[in-house]
A and B are shown apart, each in its own frame.
Chain A
């Protein structure tokens, strides 16, 4: 029998949109039984949000002080303990899902399908490889659970309107005691979240300095957009690493993407291939970004970007 378990991502108070997107991926399996597990120190608020998502059968609420921070070594055995009842175990392909789920997969004794971008049937999926320069269709053997992460940029968030029952469960495993959470920096950025924003304005190496990036922030503010960056801009210290878009940063699919002063390396393009409309502003007409841009503008970005902002 097919039953799906999704491990929720949240910050202790709010369910992450990545979970609602993972649910949409799960709904594509055509399986009617979809549960969401919420591991938290105080899961009640998040569990209620999960129960409202359309298509959820049951929410498993598992509370323990250890779950205040998502440590893979603590959570993986919990996921394994739940796994016996399910044919599919899913997490979003965020840094959280990428950290935790392979550890659980190994305990279960199976390989994981990473970054599903399309569901063909219950056991057949498409996923990107080689920095999205190829798409492979993979089939998971019958008789083993499907343990998979869902590429959130490929799925819209599931709607609300559900009223799933919430079931309390006890934690099954013990803290192995070898991993301690110290703290987190960053995430205090203004404006919408990069992973989910409908409009993203990204800057690259050509911004020249962190001050040069001000015109990006300013344009983004005018548009109500999130700010992103290429690896070059992050490595140069113009912006913090969590703004990086690309193969090793965030993979996003906004309706509108501005690539400003970004040449368009393969690794960056991986992160934006699913964007609705790509606008490139660059002084080099030969830059590879123009091969994928829907609208291109060649010229000095320090003149063009402020002009663009003034005309919005």
Chain B
């Protein structure tokens, strides 16, 4: 079985982004970029599945300009076997991404496609579910535990009410939640080795993907700032402040 893992290049999660003063977008020039943290978790899980002998190959894929090759190389250094870059300019909305990954699914025929549950830039949380719909296969989203046996995956999912378990037939789409695992660190020799691993470049046009837009970003603004707070000196003062606000 092959596992396809999708990696999105995003602003590093430690960076506090700023909205451009003209409201045209978010400042990304000179900002540290990384693999979306949820995608890193998805890749880690795929690698563990392979290390247990339950998969033969792990392929990483990303959509975007040549800069995404950095994240693909990092994925290869973590242990993926090969990488596919689908080159595309501009805004790639989730449905376009799902259509693109469907083309890769048809080409590679993986048993599992593993995505992060959401990208920390657009916070959309859509692509995995959309891919599963287009592929007409099961989805197990927000996975915090995955067990494979007999062509099926048993997945514990983090839902509002607790931990839900479902069983899905493979092939299937899984999306990772934070607590699925702790991704490994990349070691220097692995980075050197990753440079020699295959990285194939295709384009949306090569794959015949029809772009799906339909939602236009009109403007961006910073979130409203909270009013200046006050540091109180004692519990008594805290209680009286809360009482004066009518909260207690």
Residues of A within 8 A of B239 (CB): 308, 311-312
Cα distance, A263 to B207, chains bound together (Å): 47
B160: contacting residue among A95, A103, A182, A295, CB under 8 A: A95
B29 to chain A, nearest CB (A): 15
B238: contacting residue among A73, A107, A114, A308, CB under 8 A: A308
> Given A76-B133, A130-B121, does the pair A96, B220 have CB atoms closer than 8 Å?
no
Residues of B within 8 A of A84 (CB): none
B235 contacts A304, C-beta separation under 8 Å: yes
Cα distance, A250 to B139, chains bound together (Å): 22
A241 contacts B179, C-beta separation under 8 Å: yes
B215 contacts A141, C-beta separation under 8 Å: yes
Residues of B within 8 A of A85 (CB): none
* Residue B141, interface by CB 8 Å: yes
Cα distance, A311 to B226, chains bound together (Å): 28
Query: Please, what's the 1-or-0 string for B219-235, where 1 marks a CB less than 8 Å from any CB in chain A?
Result: 11111001101111011
Knowing that A140-B214, A277-B247, A293-B229 are A-B contacts, what are 14 other residue pairs whose CB atoms are under 8 Å apart, sorted by A's residue number?
A: A95-B157, A96-B160, A131-B120, A131-B123, A134-B223, A135-B221, A136-B217, A139-B215, A144-B214, A179-B169, A184-B163, A241-B144, A273-B226, A311-B235
> Given A178-B169, A295-B238, does the pair A110, B229 have CB atoms closer than 8 Å?
no
- Closest-by-CB residue of A relative to B132 is A103
A103 contacts B129, C-beta separation under 8 Å: yes
Residues of A within 8 A of B139 (CB): 72-73, 99, 103, 179
> Given A130-B11, A255-B247, A307-B235, does the pair A185, B163 have CB atoms closer than 8 Å?
yes
Query: Please, what's the 1-or-0 string for A98-124, where 1 marks a CB less than 8 Å from any CB in chain B?
Result: 111111111101111111000000001
Number of A-B contacts (CB under 8 A): 248
A262 to chain B, nearest CB (A): 15
- Can you list 18 A-B pairs with a CB-CB distance of less than 8 A? A72-B141, A99-B141, A102-B130, A109-B212, A111-B214, A124-B218, A133-B17, A134-B17, A134-B26, A137-B217, A140-B215, A176-B136, A182-B154, A185-B162, A295-B231, A295-B241, A311-B236, A312-B239
A241: contacting residue among B158, B166, B215, B238, CB under 8 A: B158
Residues of B within 8 A of A140 (CB): 214-215
> Given A135-B220, A294-B229, A296-B231, does the pair A184, B162 have CB atoms closer than 8 Å?
yes
B218 contacts A98, C-beta separation under 8 Å: no
A103 to chain B, nearest CB (A): 4
* Residue A192, interface by CB 8 Å: no
B17: contacting residue among A112, A130, A242, A277, CB under 8 A: A130
A290 contacts B212, C-beta separation under 8 Å: no
Cα distance, A280 to B159, chains bound together (Å): 27
B222 contacts A106, C-beta separation under 8 Å: no
B93 contacts A129, C-beta separation under 8 Å: no
> Given A102-B94, A134-B221, A184-B159, does the pair A139, B216 have CB atoms closer than 8 Å?
yes
- Closest-by-CB residue of A relative to B142 is A95
B142 contacts A134, C-beta separation under 8 Å: no
B247 contacts A297, C-beta separation under 8 Å: no
- Closest-by-CB residue of A relative to B130 is A106
> Given A130-B120, A186-B162, does the pair A111, B217 have CB atoms closer than 8 Å?
no
* Residue B64, interface by CB 8 Å: no
Cα distance, A222 to B178, chains bound together (Å): 32
B229 contacts A290, C-beta separation under 8 Å: yes
B148 to chain A, nearest CB (A): 15
* Residue A266, interface by CB 8 Å: yes
* Residue A161, interface by CB 8 Å: no
* Residue A31, interface by CB 8 Å: no
* Residue A156, interface by CB 8 Å: no
Query: Please, what's the 1-or-0 string for B110-132, where 1 marks a CB less than 8 Å from any CB in chain A?
Result: 00000001101111111111111
* Residue A163, interface by CB 8 Å: no
